Structure 1
Amino acid sequence: MNDQGWIVIECDVCKQKCDAKKIKNPRSKIESTFIYVSMLNPDESIVKSGGRKIEAYDAEIYEESELLEDHPTAIKVNEHVVTPTKMPQHCENTDCRDLPNMSCSCGANIAEIAQSKIFEESESISKAAVSLKDMYYQSTQNYKHICVKVSCVCACGRPFEAYFARSIKTDSDLNWDINSFHLISTSFPISADYINGVKSKDECMSTLKKFLARWNIIADKIILISPFIGNIHQTDEQLAQEWLNVVNNVDAQKTTLYTKKATINNIRKTYQSQGFDEKLLISYGLEDDLIKNLGKSKSFHAKIYAGIIGDKVEFLSGSFNLVSGKNKETINYQKLPLSTFKDSYLTPLGIDITEQSNFALFIKKEKDDYYLYEEKCKDIYM
């Protein structure tokens, strides 16, 4: 009951194409596409449509590495497919550890100190985590993530709090696994002094990616407002890469991108240049979640990138579009109540979103033991 494991799936469409090509050319080495998915009860699970279950692996018997030995070309899918050939990375190569609130005035690496502390406290935290499923299913709140607060002391003797979190996507995310939690914040405030100024496009995008890594986990909604993705001087291949730089760094389910209609058309062209038929993608449900949510706003030149956390917003703005490069741009960091952000930044663009107070499953220490609470997200992070 509720065994952890994986299933390997062969895509029906890919198999049909492979079989057809092998009929024409028996020597063809083309292979069908396989994916594998982490899930509960793999032996009893089935694929309803779109593919067939090839094999099941019980995690108590097999390691993930053994699955990959059997199926070396299999692609792991955690949640959804962004395009038929590219899986969402969700900032796998970028994390929050270089945000401005991750450093002490003494210069110590507090990320390493915090990481060491949560591993030290893992056994105690796991006792509180036993109740995660009970609270999740018994509460009327729609929890999107789990947060753990640990108390740390810097090498210089200065105390600080570190916040680790993970998103809740499936039931298995409610199981305590210290390695699945990411350091997303500390009690040191985010200082605009380290962000604001004139920076290269590459530096602006690097800063945005660090915030996206944080927002992917703890924000209720992510808003990206940019007239352009890439620029007209880039090749189709370069434009496609700029688009992937956006897609690979956001959780598409909570992100809405507002851009110009011409930019939407350019994105579609990049799909076509890469050999993808948009209508075919839509018919199989493989089109980008982000593309479905593109806003066709009127002419605008604003660049705003925001993470909405409860009824508060932290955001970057300036002159930089979603494009890499060496040219200089302005970048600014701010934090505002959602109502003020809406009135000042969204309403003038014709964008409307609903205010909400979302909750997290929150584990923190009281006296000598860790306990599980429900807490408003804005009260934890903002």
Structure 2
Amino acid sequence: MNLNEAFKNMEEEEKWQFILSTGAEPNIDDWGGLCPHCNNAIKYTVGHYPQKDYPGAVVAKCKECSNDFLIYEDVINPHFLVIHEGADIVTTIRNPDEIAKNDCAHITEQRLFNENLQFCHLADDFFVDLIQGKSANPFLDENQAPLYTCSSCESNLEKIAYSKLKTLFKSGEMDSFLSSLNTFHTKGFLQDADKIILELDTECSCSSRHKVIFFTHMFSYGEFPKYTDFIIANIQGANLIYINGVYSKNDCKSYVDKLFLRWTLIADKIYAQTAYIGNQYKKEDEMKKLLHSLSSYLPAHKTKILTKTSNRTKIKNQLNKEGEIDLNDKYNRQNSGLDKLDNFERTHSKFYAGIVDSDVEIISGSFNYTDGPSTDNLTFSNLPIKIFNKNYLNMLKLDYSPKESKKHYYYKSFGERTFNDGYTIYKKELLDRILNK
């Protein structure tokens, strides 16, 4: 029986009882964090059903110091949250007003853990880093090379796009839209959508018109996204496909970083093959900055980073100085992204790829992930998955099989009035609109 059909005319508790009676299994996400009072490690899972989800919170008592704390960010269906280590549940909260009034300290270092976390990095996703001021939006840095330029006159379309977006915020139209959207989000009407997709029409100085697709977080940490929190997923009609030549390492890093963020939204899997991160001349603070940007731009749950064993050892030594390895051990996580890389010790290949539906966007050449004024060559291309597996992954004893996504996204157009009210869509339709298929 279709659960969505069965939900019609049911009261809230009836819906939950019906779900449980069908034997439907929730999707489970593994999370963890630290007690805000004593830094005791807490491990828990959050369960959610695509058909019916409500955000909420859980008050928990630490087993180490006996103080209460609140688990709130990214909690959906709090009555399905299970704490496995470090604390006991005191009560669950579903009313947003009660959550706002609760004065318990929030769990700290809250992170989604899985086997693909690279470099023992504990940073949240890029948008949370933006909110907390730990990262900056590379699309707004005028010192970075533009990924999207006009195919007619080669003007920087990124600058034009953000100018139009900033104007939209100043007009108050975005505030009105976000306030309404937050109401739907709080009430759980957006299903599992955790990204806001924004479509905007822009015009270049040469009069050519372009459609810009932005995306941002869905009120992470309860914050409304600012215009600086929006990332460009695509600009239709731009010169992206013509990256092919010799560029400074700084420009190479700009292209790769912006593609990483693009792939955060549209790719099902991301591969980063770099023989070295940085080089032997990098100082510790420079190396730390490179590691942070690499980890921040790449979503851990769908990224595989491949590097030489010697480089991996250097990275672990660097992070160990900062205590991050010890904290990682405290969580008992496995870092498969860095383990068993001996097979890649003799390779010097460098490529960065995002698997998008049945195709692969790949940028490759001589560029190791670093920065500086010296030059490397880079070429952007598209390959079918079958060819990518054969020519790239199979050589590294890897393989990738496409998986269908049932995730929802919230899409809002400020260009076509047909879509002006916004709506939730699946990944396939999202890709069709972003890539103009």
After TM superposition, the score normalised by the length of structure 1 is: 0.67
Amino acid at match of 1:374: Y
Contact 1:94 1:210 in 2 (8 A): no
Match of 2:73 among 38, 49, 65: 38
Local SS of the residue matching 1:148: strand
Give the Å deviation of 1:136.
3.3
Q: Which residue in 2 is equivalent to 1:120?
A: 173
- For residues 52 and 203 of structure 1, do their structure 2 counterparts lie closer, same or farther at Cα, with a shift above 3 Å needed? farther
Correspondence for 1:200: 248
The separation in 2 between residues aligned to 1:84 and 1:349, in whole angstroms, is: 23
CA change 1:111–1:357 in 2 (3 A) is: farther
Letter in 2 for 1:186: I
1:110 to 2:145 alignment: no
Task: Find the aligned partners of 1:353 and 1:43 in 2 and give their Cα distance.
Answer: 34
Partner residue in 2 for 1:182? 231
Give me the whole-angstrom Cα distance separating, in 2, the residues matched to 1:83 and 1:228.
13
The Cα offsets for residues 242-271 of structure 1, whole Å up to 9 and x where unpaired, read as: 433422332112110111222222222223
Q: Helix, strand or coil for the counterpart of 1:207?
A: helix
**Separation in 1, partners of 2:109, 2:236:** 35
Please say if residues 305 and 315 of structure 1, whose CA atoms lie closer than 8 Å, have aligned partners that are also in contact: yes
Q: Secondary structure at the match of 1:38?
A: coil
Matched, 1:87 2:138: no
Cα deviation code 1:319-340 (max 9, x no counterpart): 1112233332112222233233
The answer to whether 1:265 aligns with 2:313 is yes
Q: Which amino acid aligns with 1:381?
A: I
1:90-169 paired onto structure 2 within 5 Å: 90=126, 92-96=135-139, 99-101=146-148, 103=150, 105=153, 109-117=160-168, 120=173, 123=176, 130=184, 134=189, 136=191, 145-154=195-204, 157-166=207-216
The answer to whether the 8 Å contact 1:216/1:250 transfers is: yes
SS in 1 for 2:211: strand
After superposition, give the CA deviation of every residue in 1:147-202 in whole Å (9 maximum; x if it has no partner).
3323344566543222122467xxx67x9956465332221234344x43222223
Q: Which residue of 2 aligns with 1:356?
A: 403
Residue 313 (structure 1) shift: 1.9
Q: Please say if residues 352 and 364 of structure 2, whose CA atoms lie closer than 8 Å, have aligned partners that are also in contact.
A: yes
**2:17 match:** none
Q: Does 1:374 align with 2:426?
A: yes
Give me the whole-angstrom Cα distance separating, in 2, the residues matched to 1:84 and 1:375.
29
Task: Specify which of 330, 339, 346 is matched with residue 393 of structure 2.
Answer: 346
Structure-to-structure mapping, 1:298-309, within 5 angstroms: 299-309=346-356
- TM-superposed CA distance for 1:135, in Å, is 6.5
Query: Structure 2 length normalisation: TM-score?
Result: 0.60
Name the SS for the 2:377 alignment partner.
strand
Do residues 250 (structure 1) and 298 (structure 2) align?
yes
Give the Cα separation in 1 of the matches to 2:111 and 2:258.
21
Q: How far did 1:346 drift?
A: 2.1
The 3-state SS of whatever aligns with 1:345 is: helix
> CA 1:156–1:127 in 2, change beyond 3 Å: closer, same or farther?
farther
Q: Would the alpha carbon gap of residues 75 and 9 (structure 1) be closer, same or farther in structure 2, given more than 3 Å must change? A: closer
For the residue of structure 2 that corresponds to 1:361, the secondary structure is strand
Q: Distance in 2 between matches of 1:242 and 1:177?
A: 28
In angstroms, what is the RMSD of aligned CA positions? Answer: 4.9
1:4 equivalent in structure 2: none
Alignment partner, residue 23 of structure 2 = none
Asked if the contact 2:233/2:434 (under 8 Å) is kept, the reply is: no
Pair 1:375–1:353, CA change in 2 (3 A) = closer
1:353 Cα offset (Å): 0.9
> 1:155, 1:120 → 2: CA distance?
24
- Measured in 2, the distance between the counterparts of 1:368 and 1:242 equals 40
5+ long unaligned stretches in structure 2? 1-11, 13-33, 42-68, 130-134
* CA distance 1:355–1:144, change in 2 (3 Å): farther
Identical pairs, percent: 18
Tell me: CA distance 1:205–1:181, structure 2 relative to 1, closer, same or farther (3 Å): closer
SS in 2 for 1:101: coil
Q: Distance in 2 between the 1:252 and 1:85 partners?
A: 9
TM-aligned CA distance change 1:246 to 1:178, over 3 Å? closer
Return 5+ residue gaps in structure 1 as ranges. Answer: 2-6, 15-33, 138-142
* SS in structure 2 at match of 1:248: helix
